[in-house]
Each structure stands twice: as C-alpha cells, then as structure tokens.
Structure 1
Amino acid sequence: MSVSTPMLVTFVVYILGMVLIGFIAWRSTKSFDDYILGGRSLGSVVTALSAGASDMSGWLLMGLPGAIFLSGISESWIAIGLIIGAWLNWRIVAGRLRVQTEHHDNALTLPDFFSSRFEDNSKLLRVISAVVILIFFTIYCASGVVAGARLFESTFGMDYQTALWAGAAATILYTLVGGFLAVSWTDTVQASLMIFALILTPIIVIVAVGGLDDSLAVIRAKSLENLDMLKGLNFVAVISLLGWGLGYFGQPHILARFMAADSHHTIRSARRIGMIWMILCLGGAVAVGFFGIAYFENHPDQAAGVSQNGERIFIELARILFNPWIAGILLSAILAAVMSTLSCQLLVCSSALTEDLYKGFLRKNASQKELVWVGRLMVLVIALIAIALAANPENRVLGLVSYAWAGFGAAFGPVVLFGVCWKRMTRNGALAGMVIGALTVLLWKDYGYAELYEIIPGFAFASIAIVVFSLLGRGPSEAAQQRFAAAEAQYHSK
C-alpha cells in the first residue's frame, strides 16, 4: 500500500504538536502534585474537554461506529446509557468529589482518598484499590494500544507489530515528560479534533449517498432490521447496553479530572460543556456507522476493508471520501481519541504505583523530585506491559474496553458514589463493596448469567455489601463525620 504524503505529514505534525505540549507542561511541573493532578488548576473548558476526551478513547471512532455498521441502530443503546450515566456522574459525584478529596488530606489519587475518607490505618483499602487499578487499567491501556495499532496498520500499511509501537510511542513520550498538565492540555486539543471529525464525516457520507432520504432508503432496502432499535435484543440485552452508564461513577481517569478542577464552582459550567460535547460526539459516531451501511451498500467494490473488520468503518470512509489533507486531519482524530485516553490511564496507573505503593510502603519520605521521576518510570513500565498484552492482532477494541469498564464501574463506582453522598459509610463497607464488585465482574462471565453485562450485578452486589457492612459495624468517628460535613457545606456554598 502506498502511503499518502499529505496524510503522513498531517500525522507527523499532529504528533509533534502533542509532544511539544508535553515539553511545555514539563516546565510547569514542579512537584508530584503537579505531575498527578496539575496542582488542581483546571478551568471549566479544560476540565470538561479533558474529561470527555479521556473517557471516549478509540472506542468512539472505531468500536461504536463498527458495532452500528455491523448490527444497525440497535447498538446505539450503549450511547444512550453512557449519556445518562455521564450526566449523573457530573451532577452527583463531580463537585462533591472535588471538595471531599481536598478535605481528606488533599488526596491526589482515589486510593489516597479512600484511605483518608474511611480512616483505614491498615492501608488495606489503599493496596486493594491500587491493585484493582493496575489490573483493569493495564487491560484498558491495551485496548488503546490496539486501537492505535489498527489506525497505523490501516493508514500506512504497516504490519501489526510495527504499528503497535508506532501508535504508542508519542503518547508514552508526552505523558512521561509532561504528566497531568500535558495530558489535560493535549486532551483539550484532541477533544476539539474529535468533535470536528464526528460532525463533518457523517454529513459528507450522507451527501455522497445522495442525501438523507436516499441514505435511509438504501439502509431500509438492505434490511429493515437496521432501523429497528430492538433488533435481536430482549429486555436483558437492552438493560445490559444501558448498564454501560453505571461505569462512569468508578472510572479513575475521569474522576481525576473532577479532582483537578480549580474549584467545585467550575464543575457546573464544565458539566454543560462536557455533556454538549459528548452528545454531539456520540451522535456523530452512531451516524458514521449507520450511514456507512448505505455508502458501502452502494459501493461494494470499496468495502474490502470494512468486510475484514467493521471497526475500520471511520478509517475507510475518511480515506475514500476526503482529500488526503483533510483525511489526515480526520484520521488524526482517531489518534487523538486513542492518545487522550491512553495517556490518562498511564498516568493513573503511575500514580497508583508511585503514590499508593512506592511512597505508601517503600519510601514514605521520598522527595517531590524523586516521586516525579518514579512516576515517569512507572508510566514506561505500564506502557510496555500494555503493548505486550496488545500483541495479539485478533484483539477487538470494544471487547477489551467493556471488560475493563465493568471492572472499574463495579469495584469503584458504588464506593465513590456512597463515599461522597453517605456520611455513615465505613471502611469495612468500602472494602466489602470494592472486593465484591471486582470479584463479581471477574467471575460473572464464566459462572453467571452471561447475557447480562457483568457491570450490573457487580454494581448491585457491591452497593448491597457497602450498606450491609457499614451498618453492621461501628459507625465512622466523630472526626470523619465532621470532615464529611465540612466538605458538604463547602459543596453547597455559593
């Protein structure tokens, strides 16, 4: 396959721009607090777009359009569930988590917050939550590496193994160098690129087919089932797809954006910006897959790429329908989605290893400079493990994401939700909820009712465990209740 020069130039310029931002952020990174949370300095626009970009990953431009292309509009239940879950997360958790982490020893990480919030002197909560982060995020990082490899493989004709390294290298570099500020600033650029691509592409696809009416007629003629929201779905399947929304309450890379906002007052405007961005992006992704059915039905001679792998639908449409310079920008949006999420995940894994394990157990008096450099080393280690996990070319992006998303949603979601809303919650409740949520996800696929997405029983069992174990034991100390009340008072202040 010949490599388009404009496309190659566009990619190189984009990647160099992201790395440059990383080196600019290097100059603003003075302490480990800066490296992990950017000194809690994010404004509403950066908070919103960074949360959105870190959330969506390569799944937005590959997994979701691919699912719609192969199965029809019925796969959009996932998008509906995500929009509901994200709004509830912004509305209920975001502001409260921002003030609660500040009142509980200025916690920099979720394990740090759990340990302080629930007065866990044994450090068991810190260790278990750090282990959960490392297990599920390493899988999640692997999904990002797979998506990047697919992009480089399709765009430049690389073999899969070379594409793995090409796709991951730039992300590793700017995360390694610039930390949280680099990740957040690049996320803002990347989110803007993603929304541009997802609004423009379906419009051009519809025009290429002959207009909206002609596009719908072609899709209807191919199969009426493509227009059926309940195609092949029973009640359990719909609930499973909607259940993806539960995952938001427990995603450390998204929750970190709330923790890094400059104040809880920023959250309200960030919520509006973030939800508008999300609705437009998800709508665009669904439209790419849906109207892509019509395009390739009319042009079967161009459908070889999508016949081989439906997740390449956006890539193929961009290559076929656009000038190479524009196609390069659009395909950079996939790289943006991959890089934005992968960088956040690498940073959260690094923080778990550095703040919660290295500093917590090995070097309690480590200097800020030492912690920053250990954090950078941990980014590299996790990245290399993720690349190794992604080495199988048969990996599918959506499958890897769904497993990791469920793991975090069930293990952390109820603990975070109850932790910021219920003052009576205790350390034993948090521990029981976390362990039962994680174990349910790990065991459900093999031993449970396989048709039900594992996040739903995991979230339900974890929530029950939190309530039962919190009420069975002695309640929180007076000091813990006072800290919680002070944080709530600040949250409700104007």
Structure 2
Amino acid sequence: MSGSGVTLVIYMLALVAIGVWASRKATASEEDFLLGGRGLGPVVAGLAYAASTSSAWVLLGFTGFVANEGVSALWMMPGILAGYAVVWLWLGPWLNRVSREKGQLTALDVIADDAAGARRRIIKLVAAAMIIFCFSFYIAAQFQGAGSALGEVFGITRTQAVVAGAVIILAYTFLGGFWAVSLTDTLQGLSIAVIALVLPIAALADAGGLAGVVKGLAAMDDRITAPFGTHAGWSAAGFVLGLTATGFGALGQPHLLTWVMAVRDRKARLQGAAVALGWGALVYAGMAVIALSVRAGAAPGAQVSEMIVFSVAQEVLPGILPALVYAAILSAIMSTVDSQLLVASAAASHDLGLARAVPGREVLITRAIIVILCIGAVLLTLYLPATIFGRVLFAWTALGAAFGPTLVARASGRHPASEVIIIAMIAGFGLAVLFNQVLPSGPGAWKERVLPWLAGLAIVFAFSRKRENAAK
C-alpha cells in the first residue's frame, strides 16, 4: 500500500475509533443519540455546522463552478455566509430556547408544534417524506464523491470505492449517533480549513502568483472576468439574486438546525456563530482561489472538471500531502452524509413514530433505519449517478423552501394552523421541484431559488395569526 493509502486508512480508523468512544454517551436516551444531550460547546457546534453545510459541494462542486463560470460565480459567497448569520443570530435564539423548553428533538418537532392528533401526524408524514426523498439523492451524490477520492488513492473500482466510503460513514454514525457525528465533524471541519489555507497558496504560487492569475484570466473570453458573466441589465440582477438567494436554504435544512438546537447556551451559540462564519469565509475564499488559479492556466473555453482539487493536489504538493487533501475531501463528504443519515433516520424513527413501536428499543430502531437508508443511497449512487453540484443545489433549495417559511413565521411570532403548514410545505417543495424540471435551472436561476420561498412565506403569513406572547 502506498504512503497515501496508509495515511487515508489511519484517518478513517481514527473516525471509527471516535464513534466507538462516543457510543458510550449515545445510548442513554433518544435525546442523547439525536441531540448529544444538548450540551455542545461553540467550537464543536460551529465547526460541525459549517462542515455539514459545505460537504463535497464546496471542495468539488463549488470549485468546479467557479472555474467554469469565472468571477461572476463569487456572488454565491455573500449569500451563503448571510444564511449562516441569520440561522445562528436570528433564528437560533428562538429555536434553541423553544426546542429545549418543549423537549423537541428534531426540526420537524418544531415545525409541527401545537398541532395534535391526525393533523400532527400528517405534517410529520409529509415532511419526513420530503426529507427522506431529498436526502437519499443528496447522500447518493456525496457517495459518488467519496468513491472518486478513494478510487484516486487506492486504484479500486468505482463500486468498491463507493461501498468502502459508505461503510466507514455508517460505522461511526451507527455507533455514536449525534455525539460521534459532532466530534468527527469537528475534526473534519478543522482538516478542511487547513486544506483551504494551504492548497490555495500552493495553487496560486504554481500559477505564477497573483500577477500570473490575472494575466491568465485576461487571456480568456470576457465572461470569465466580467462581474455578471454573460448577463446584463435585468438579466444580471436576476443572476445575482439567484446566486445570493442560495443562502435562503440554510433556514430550512433540518440536518443543520440540529446543531443550533444542541448548543448548550447563549454564549456558546454566539461563539459558535463566529466559528461557523469564520470557517465559511476561509473555505469558500480558498476554493475560489484554487478555481481561478486553475482557470488561468487552462485553455480558453475548456470545461474544467469538478475533480480539479485532486489534480491540483497531485501537481503542487509533495510526498503524502495529496493524501491529506483526499482525506479532507472525504471529510467534507462524511461531515454532510453522517448528519443527513442521522436526521433522515430521525424522521423515520422519531417523527413517524417507528421507534415507539418497540418501547425501550428506540436507539436500536434508529440505527436499523440508518443502515437501510445507507444501503438505499449506495444503490442510487451506483445506478443513478449525477453531478454533485447540481443535485446538492436542488435538494438544498427544495428543503429550504419546504421548511424555511414555517420556521421563519414561527420565529416571527406567527401561529399558522396545521392546514396552512401542510399547504406551505407542499407549495414550497412542489414549486422547487417544478421549476427545477421545467424552467432553466442552475445556480443563477433566481425563479427556482426565490419563488418557492415567496410562495411558502405568503401562505404562512397570510393565513396565520400573531401570537399574543410572541418572543421578542
């Protein structure tokens, strides 16, 4: 086995070891398994949140997007970071307090708050179906990225690489639940940050420094260096809106909101916000530098692969350092997949009540569902492959439009009826799917990014009443 292979194996064994250790803390109760006992500190919560938002979508998808679109793609960055800030600083105080006071364990508990009986079950059934649908395809796309990383190092087949990556992710999620996910995501977030600091510097130097990159980009067609790409006038405004509005999705991602629900207190939440925002700014900026450095050295008009980080690492880093980059990419993938497996399994076990069918065995049922979801995602990866960037962006948009409007309304002191919540979820999710399939899609498609959100917001605000004791 090569030095790169040894490095990667040691890294993955360390993740499994963390899962084994964390399993001792995960079996006390369903709250421990799903929310880590609500005792996360700022560094763990902030890094885990940030790493879970980004996944291979940043290291692979976003990097490839910037390399192909040029400077205009950078409009996505302020939107993403604004989404971080709104979740932690505006939605976060209400979400953490309410979920703690009412013993709510998942984002769906919060969405269905005050609903009872059959209406509550319908809300959770519809929402859980949306989560499982989106996460299954989202996780499949991530496994595809994991397979690429493992295949690069070990020279194994795509099927072998995908299965190997899935087994590692399954192992520590299955063992330790939310606490293991939190710790491994923290480790992964740190490794991604290091790569985002070191690799861009090496790539920039290899391209001839800042002057070399500027010269190389100037030789490209105008769309690469134009701030709005090929767009002008109202088209440019729509393009910018479509990119920045990507940040809206953060308010409705159930696997991200759990980090805010699990943070231990106000001080930890504020510090966690600073950690998440700092990490996001560093990683997105670093990936943009890599992308533009590669574009500057590419042939004019050439299409750049989503896998450029692999090639850059091989070309500019010595020794086993490329293996550390592969480990960081696997970290990005794992940090998202483990959170999503846990949330999707919670949707089936806790929100749909499957765990209550076997009293006293709730954690066992949750783990069994994780195994089933993981197997399903592997099959989707192998038989229905798709690009990482496009599929993740669709799932992000659809879930954000489904759940975000109701959470915003509740945090604003509104009291939507059960029927209104159901209609708003279906409208937001349905329009996101419809626009993705019917209208021109992609990162700058403002209708797909904005209109589903506006529809959901209009429904919940128009047909809800203001709470008399709304939280300020």
- Tell me, yes or no, whether TM beats 0.5: yes
Q: Is the 8 A contact 1:359 1:366 kept in 2?
A: no
Asked whether the equivalents of residues 95 and 265 of structure 1 are also in contact (C-alpha less than 8 Å), the reply is no
1:257 aligned to 2:259?
A: yes
- Displacement of 1:215 after TM fit? 2.1
Q: Deviations over 1:409-454 (max 9, x none)?
A: 1001111111122243333332221111111112223345654452
Go from structure 1 to structure 2 and tell me whether the alpha carbon gap of 1:158 and 1:232 turns closer, same or farther (over 3 Å shift): farther
1:284 is aligned to 2:278: no
CA contact (8 A) 1:120 1:427 kept: no
Q: Does residue 65 of structure 2 align to residue 67 of structure 1? A: yes
Task: Tell me the distance in 2 between the aligned counterparts of 1:464 and 1:401.
Answer: 26
- CA positional deviation for 1:262: 0.8
**Residue aligning to 2:327:** 332
Deviation at 1:47, TM superposition (A): 0.9
CA distance in 1 between counterparts of 2:127 and 2:415 reads 20
Matched ranges for 1:404-423 at <5 A: 404-423=395-414
Aligned pair partner of 1:272 in 256, 271, 274: 274
* Structure 2 portions without partners, runs of 5+: none
Deviates more, 1:168-177 or 1:214-223: 214-223
CA contact (8 A) 2:141 2:385 kept: no
Change (3 A) 1:216 1:247: same
Once the two structures are TM-superposed, the CA of residue 88 in structure 1 deviates from its matched residue by 1.6
* Paired letter, 1:134: I
The offset of 1:121, in angstroms, is 5.4
CA contact (8 A) 1:427 1:470 kept: no
Q: Which of 413, 422, 427 is matched with 1:431 structurally?
A: 422
Residues 260-305 of structure 1: per-residue CA shift (max 9 Å, x gap): 11123321111111101110111011111111123445xx9xxxxx
For residue 459 of structure 1, what is the aligned residue in structure 2? Answer: 453
CA distance 1:422–1:281, change in 2 (3 Å): same
One-letter amino acid matched to 2:149 = L
* Counterpart residue number, 2:164: 166
Alpha-carbon distance in 1 for matches of 2:320, 2:275:
29
Whole-Å separation in 2 of the counterparts to 1:353 and 1:173:
19
Q: CA deviation at 1:54?
A: 0.9
Counterpart Cα distance in 2 of 1:81 and 1:314: 23
Match of residue 366 from structure 1: 359
- How far is 1:164 from its partner? 1.3
Query: Does the CA contact (< 8 Å) of 1:101 and 1:107 recur in 2?
Result: yes
Kindly indicate whether residue 234 of structure 2 is the aligned counterpart of residue 239 of structure 1: no
Per-residue CA deviation, residues 200-237 of structure 1 (Å, 9 max, x unaligned), is 11111111222211221122123443222211233322
C-alpha contact (below 8 Å) 1:77/1:241 kept by paired residues: yes
* Equivalent pair of 1:85/1:246 in contact (CA under 8 Å): yes
Judged with a 3 Å threshold, the aligned counterparts in structure 2 of structure 1 residues 295 and 156 are, in CA distance, closer, same or farther, namely: farther
On the 8 A contact 1:205/1:295 being kept in 2, the answer is no
Could you list the runs of 5+ residues in structure 1 that have no partner in the other structure?
A: 301-306
Residue pair 1:199, 1:280 contacting (<8 A) in 2 also: yes
Separation in 2, partners of 1:310, 1:141:
20
CA–CA distance in structure 2, aligned partners of residues 114 and 70 of structure 1: 39
Partners of 2:401 and 2:425 within 8 A in 1: yes
Which TM-score applies when normalising by structure 2?
A: 0.93
Cα shift at 1:119: 4.8
**1:120 to 1:227, Cα distance in 2 relative to 1, 3 A:** farther
CA RMSD of aligned residues (A): 2.2
**Residue of 26, 30, 34 corresponding to 1:32:** 30
**Deviation by residue 1:434-492 (Cα, 9 ceiling, x = unmatched):** 11111111222334565445231110100111122225xxx77xxxx66xx5xx3xxx7
Using the aligned pairs only, state the percent identity: 27
Q: Cα offset for 1:92?
A: 1.1
Supply the AA of the counterpart residue of 1:26. Answer: S
User: Partner of 1:9 in structure 2?
Assistant: 6
Aligned with 1:205 (options 195, 203, 206): 203
SS of residue in 2 equivalent to 1:424: strand
Query: Secondary structure of the equivalent of 2:464?
Result: helix
Output aligned runs, 1:34-433, within 5 Å: 34-104=32-102, 106-119=103-116, 122=119, 123-233=121-231, 234=235, 235-296=237-298, 310-359=305-354, 363=357, 366-367=359-360, 370-392=361-383, 394-433=385-424
Q: Is the 8 A contact 1:81 1:242 kept in 2?
A: yes
Do 2:414 and 2:464's aligned partners in 1 also have CA atoms closer than 8 Å? Answer: no
TM-score, length-scaled by structure 1: 0.89
Q: Does the Cα contact within 8 Å between 2:213 and 2:293 map onto a contact in 1?
A: yes
Identify which range, 31-40 or 122-131, moves more after superposition. Answer: 122-131
CA contact (8 A) 1:440 1:458 kept: yes
